[in-house]
């Protein structure tokens, strides 16, 4: 969905909105997305992700990166290049499908394997945090990545009647552009050759992609509600030997409601980070 403290948004959703990590010790933004509680396609940063971390100064990021071992830096460079390439392949496949078919119907089915592979591959971002080669909160990154996987596997994959919804295209486009921008940003940052356009795109695209990704995620979950209620999928009814009940329908309603407090908070956080990175403003954030 896609991500928690960043946007890129791409969000979408969990569009979001991801959402991202301070690039292998570099700047950041998520998918991503409050998706599924933080999928901000959205995000970004992004809300992304995989992953939602804090943007930092480039010089500071470079100093941090020097503390990484050669193997860690090499692996992260490989990972970011692979993810950039993967999302580029996805983007090309989406454009080609639409040019050939002239409709979005069937689009998800045609690209689902690539989407599932690279979005699930993003679980490695949690591992990166756990072993300390990326200085981002495990909890924040975990929420970003899991929320995206939730949207992919437990919503669009599991509920086939919604796969041709226009809202699916919304978060797919938002996520794809967000992730291409995010991972290319990380790659060039690691190589110490960050083009200004990539930096500019990283901190501007989310302004549109974050809301688009979140909207796509919310509309997709909403479209899934009638099917979930009718079939009772993923729900546990009483009585049972564990004396536990779970209603997936109400879980989805709660997930949608979680976007209300999370989206504005994350979006405005990323706007502050944008001013800091692109315009050099000193942002003093109040402690909660």
Chain segment 76-92, per-residue pLDDT in tens: 999 999 999 999 999 99
Angle among Cα 112, 187, 284 to the nearest 5 degrees reads: 105
Please report which confidence band the pLDDT of residue 45 belongs to, taking 50, 70 and 90 as the band edges. very low
Phi, psi of 183 (to 5 degrees): -70, -30
Strand partners, 38: 35
pLDDT surpassing 90 at residue 18: no
**CB-based contact 46:140 (threshold 8 Å):** no
Q: How far apart are CA 4 and CA 10, in angstroms?
A: 11
Q: What is the pLDDT of residue 102?
A: 95
Both tokens of residue 21?
Answer: 């990590």
- Catalytic residue list contains 217: yes
Please report which confidence band the pLDDT of residue 265 belongs to, taking 50, 70 and 90 as the band edges. confident
For the segment 63-84, the average pLDDT, to the nearest whole number, is 85
Q: What is the pLDDT of residue 283?
A: 56
Q: Which of 210, 248, 259, 267 is catalytic?
A: 210
pLDDT surpassing 90 at residue 201: yes
Q: What is the pLDDT of residue 118?
A: 98
Q: How much of the chain, in percent, has pLDDT values that exceed 90? A: 65
**How far out from the chain centre does Cα 224 lie?**
20
Is 18 in a helix, a strand, or coil? coil
Identify the residue whose tokens are 């993923």.
234
pLDDT surpassing 70 at residue 55: no
**CB-based contact 29:180 (threshold 8 Å):** no
**CB-based contact 43:216 (threshold 8 Å):** no
Q: What is the pLDDT of residue 140?
A: 83
Both tokens of residue 231?
Answer: 């079939």
Q: How far apart are CA 114 and CA 5, in angstroms?
A: 26
For the segment 124-141, the average pLDDT, to the nearest whole number, is 91
pTM (2 decimals)? 0.78
pLDDT surpassing 50 at residue 266: yes
State the Rg of the chain over Cα.
18
Q: What is the pLDDT of residue 57?
A: 54
Please report which confidence band the pLDDT of residue 60 belongs to, taking 50, 70 and 90 as the band edges. low
Q: Which of 45, 183, 217, 248 is catalytic?
A: 217
Angle between helices 166-190 and 206-231 (to 10 degrees): 130
Both tokens of residue 241?
Answer: 């030997």
> Please, what is the average pLDDT of the chain?
82
Torsion angle of alpha carbons 7, 8, 11, 16, nearest 10°?
-10
Q: Where are the alpha helices (DSSP H) in the chain?
A: 58-65, 70-101, 107-121, 124-130, 138-149, 166-190, 196-202, 206-231, 248-279
**CB-based contact 275:54 (threshold 8 Å):** no
């Amino acid at each position: 969905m896609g991500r928690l403290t960043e946007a890129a948004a791409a969000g979408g959703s969990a569009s979001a909105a991801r959402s991202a990590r301070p690039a292998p010790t570099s700047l950041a933004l998520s998918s991503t997305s409050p998706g599924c509680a933080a999928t901000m396609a959205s995000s970004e940063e992004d809300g992304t992700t995989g992953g939602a971390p804090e943007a930092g100064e480039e010089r500071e990021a470079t100093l941090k990166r020097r503390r990484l071992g050669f193997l860690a830096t090499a692996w992260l460079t490989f990972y970011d290049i692979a993810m950039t390439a993967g999302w580029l392949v996805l983007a090309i496949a989406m454009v080609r499908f639409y040019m050939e078919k002239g409709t979005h119907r069937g689009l998800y089915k045609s690209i689902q394997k690539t989407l599932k592979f690279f979005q699930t591959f993003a679980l490695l971002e949690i591992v990166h945090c756990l072993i300390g080669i990326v200085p981002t909160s495990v909890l924040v990154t975990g929420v970003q990545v899991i929320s995206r996987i939730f949207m992919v596997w437990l919503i669009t994959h599991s509920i086939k009647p919604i796969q041709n919804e226009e809202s699916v295209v919304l978060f797919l486009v938002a996520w794809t552009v967000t992730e291409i921008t995010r991972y290319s940003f990380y790659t060039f940052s690691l190589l110490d050759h960050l083009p200004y356009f990539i930096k500019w795109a990283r901190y501007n695209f989310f302004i549109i992609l974050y809301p688009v990704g979140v909207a796509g995620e919310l509309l997709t979950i909403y479209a899934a509600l009638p099917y979930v209620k009718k079939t009772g999928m993923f729900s546990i009814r009483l009585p049972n030997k564990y004396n536990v009940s779970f209603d997936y329908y109400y879980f989805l309603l709660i997930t949608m409601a979680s976007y209300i407090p999370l989206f504005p908070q994350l979006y405005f956080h990323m706007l502050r980070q944008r001013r800091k990175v692109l315009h050099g403003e000193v942002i003093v954030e109040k402690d909660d």
